[in-house]
Amino acid sequence: MSTIDNLMVVENAEARPTALKTKNATHRHRHLYLWILPALLVYVAFKLVPMIGGLGLSMLRWDGIKDAIFVGFQNFQRMADDDKLLPALLHNVQYALGTVTGKISLALFLAILLNQALRGRTFYRTMLFLPVIMSFAVVSILWTWMYNDQFGLINSLLRGVGLNALAVQWLGDPRYALLALMFVDIWKWYGFHMVIFLAGLQSIPQEYYEAARVDGATRWQQFAHITLPQLRPVMIVNITLALLGAFNVFEIPYIMTQGGPVNATNVLSLYSYSQAFQSGRIGYGAALSYVILLIVGVIAIVQLRLTAANETLNKEG
């Protein structure tokens, strides 16, 4: 047998295990696809299909009873003349600024506090997380009762300590209604963001703090130069989730105020709902929902870019 023939035999022998490994890997990947297939079908059925169907509805003039009329993009063009749309969007922006600032600040403070060696910290963590697992209906009804200007707990306490001037109509006065809803949202979700911050804090190597203490760094300097930079990825995730929640908020204003008083708490999702199911403008309500989708999509894209930039910075560092 020639040298060339010997080389070909060796190459074929080496190629067989490689081909076998590739075949086995492909077989394993097929099994993985089978595992994710049920979740994928659920996602398609309950997310993608309604999304495509909603886009079709947004091009119709339909009240849910009479025959639908195709109007193309007229529902989207109509938004330019809607004098209630911009105030609803501004309410969402105010809601986002208030709730994101409140939730992130409170959650970070509590996470740092509960990351210390405190007695009973497991109990405190559990109790602070309880509002997260409560349903929106329960939370909204509970706080509606507490905000009641006649017999609510808040005003009763204020009157009990002589602060009668502060006992206002929390949900009935346009000056306070949106602020009152923001507080409820913060109370409902700060525990969720606190847990995420706790996970981030526990991933920071303690050697950083020990080295800083050796160098004489104060607690504030340790927080500013170690804790915050190390929490940057977690902070991005928390802020993004809080923003998405603020622009998707529906249950709290729907149950507590129905968008009132005088549209002071009317937000985009609630306005979309009222147009579709209360005013009989299903097509226009569907079109409004795509405005919310656009805003949420922009926030998600920004979050992905910030995350990618942070990973690049960490690699270069």
List average pLDDT for each run of 10 residues in the chain, which is 317 residues long. Answer: 48 51 60 84 90 91 92 94 95 96 97 90 92 96 95 94 93 96 98 96 94 93 94 93 95 96 96 94 95 92 84 70
285 and 160 in a common domain = yes
119 and 154 in a common domain = yes
Residue 303 CB coordination number (10 Å): 17
Q: Does any domain span residue 250?
A: yes
163 and 96 in a common domain = yes
Q: Does any domain span residue 103?
A: yes
Instruction: Report the DSSP beta bridge partners of residue 70.
Output: 60
**What tokens does 300 get?**
């998600």
264 and 202 in a common domain = yes
Q: Does any domain span residue 69?
A: no
234 and 267 in a common domain = yes
Which of 30, 57, 84 marks a domain boundary? 57
Q: Provide the angle, in degrees to the nearest 10, between the axes of the packed helices 282-316 and 85-114.
A: 40
Which of 57, 83, 102 marks a domain boundary? 57
Q: Does any domain span residue 63?
A: no
pLDDT of residue 8: 46
Q: How many distinct structural domains can be found in the chain?
A: 2
Q: Does any domain span residue 65?
A: no
Q: Provide the angle, in degrees to the nearest 10, between the axes of the packed helices 136-147 and 177-202.
A: 130
Say which DSSP state 60 is in.
Answer: E
78 and 53 in a common domain = no
92 and 46 in a common domain = no
95 and 37 in a common domain = no
User: For 307-313, which contacts have Cβ atoms below 8 Å and span 24 or more sequence positions?
Assistant: 307/233, 307/236, 307/237, 310/232, 310/233, 310/236, 311/233
99 and 240 in a common domain = yes
307 and 210 in a common domain = yes
**Contact 305/249 with Cβ under 8 angstroms?**
no
- 293: containing domain: 74-316
- Taking CA atoms, 139 is separated from 66, 102, 114, 185, 256, in Å, by 38, 18, 24, 9, 10
pLDDT of residue 51: 87
Q: Does any domain span residue 68?
A: no
**Contact 283/61 with Cβ under 8 angstroms?**
yes
Q: Does any domain span residue 97?
A: yes
Q: Provide the angle, in degrees to the nearest 10, between the axes of the packed helices 136-147 and 153-160.
A: 30
Helix (H) or strand (E) holding 136: helix 136-147
> Regarding beta strands 69-70 and 60-61, do their DSSP bridges make them parallel or antiparallel, or are they unpaired?
antiparallel
225 and 139 in a common domain = yes
Q: In this structure, what CATH number is given to the domain that contains residue 280?
A: 1.10.3720.10
pLDDT of residue 303: 85
pTM: 0.85
Q: Does any domain span residue 161?
A: yes
Helix (H) or strand (E) holding 117: none
145 and 245 in a common domain = yes
